[in-house]
Amino acid sequence: MIQHRNIHKYIWTSHDGKTHNQIDHILLDRRWHSNVLEVRSFRGADCATDHYLLVAKVRERLAVSKQAAQRFDEERFNLSKLNELEVRKQYQTEITNRFAALENLNDDEDIKRAWENIKENIKTSTKESLGLQELKQHKPWFDEECLSFLDQSKQAKMQLVQDPSQSNVDNLNTVRRDASKYFRKKRHI
């Protein structure tokens, strides 16, 4: 069992500032209980709630399959161009010409090498006819104004911790509501 000070054990503090409680928990399967290194609360983290942030440090070993690692390196072709009649005919003739050239290969050639030739021919003709698909570039939405909303929220929370009055509770709720509205609006622009 990990020993912590009481302030790191409490997850929730009432608005009067006197009542503390542990009402949030982390549930794990029994087979993973030996991997838990530490569990504690962080009072300074602003989670937009009256609860404190509960963090567990867990030892975990992850295995990455080779297929998942290779998937990110693959080129993505613009297949939507196949809906256009001219592009589709150009692609068909390109593939037909390339496979006609493959028919002249020797039968005693290695099967892996033959497969590589087929794959490269398909990729090359697809790239020439259809082109590559452009990846979506996400615009960064978090700016200085968002940072100012977070600072206001943090200041309102600190006022509530220092003086747990109803006016400070209402102020914190108002600031958080305004910040959430602004963040939602900013993300969907």
- Helix (H, G, I), strand (E, B), or coil: what is residue 13? strand
Q: Per the structure block, which two tokens stand in for 22?
A: 């542990």
Could you list the beta-strand ranges (E) of 22-67.
Answer: 36-42, 53-58
- Where in the chain are the domains? 1-64, 77-129, 137-189
Q: How confident is the model at residue 108 (pLDDT cuts 50, 70, 90)?
A: low
**Of all residues in the chain, what percent carry a pLDDT higher than 70?**
90
| Confidence category of residue 175, pLDDT binned at 50, 70, 90 | very high
Grade residue 32 by pLDDT with cuts at 50, 70 and 90.
confident
Residue type, 160: L
Helix (H) / strand (E) containing 71: helix 66-71
Q: pLDDT, tens digit, for every residue of 58-80? A: 888 777 766 665 555 567 888 88
Kindly indicate the confidence band of residue 176, based on its pLDDT and cuts at 50, 70 and 90.
very high
Predicted local confidence at residue 66, as pLDDT: 66
Residues 127-160: tens digit of each pLDDT: 888 888 877 777 888 889 999 999 999 999 889 8
Cβ pair 15, 46 in contact under 8 A: no
Tell me what the pLDDT averaged over the chain comes to: 83
Q: Say whether pTM exceeds 0.85.
A: no
pLDDT higher than 80, residue 104? no
Find the angle CA(56)-CA(7)-CA(172) to the nearest 5 degrees: 90
Average pLDDT over residues 84-95: 88
Buried b (16+ CB within 10 A) or exposed e, 127-155: eebbeeeeeeeeeeeeeeeeeebeebbee
State the pLDDT at residue 49.
80
Average pLDDT rounded to a whole number, residues 86-100: 86
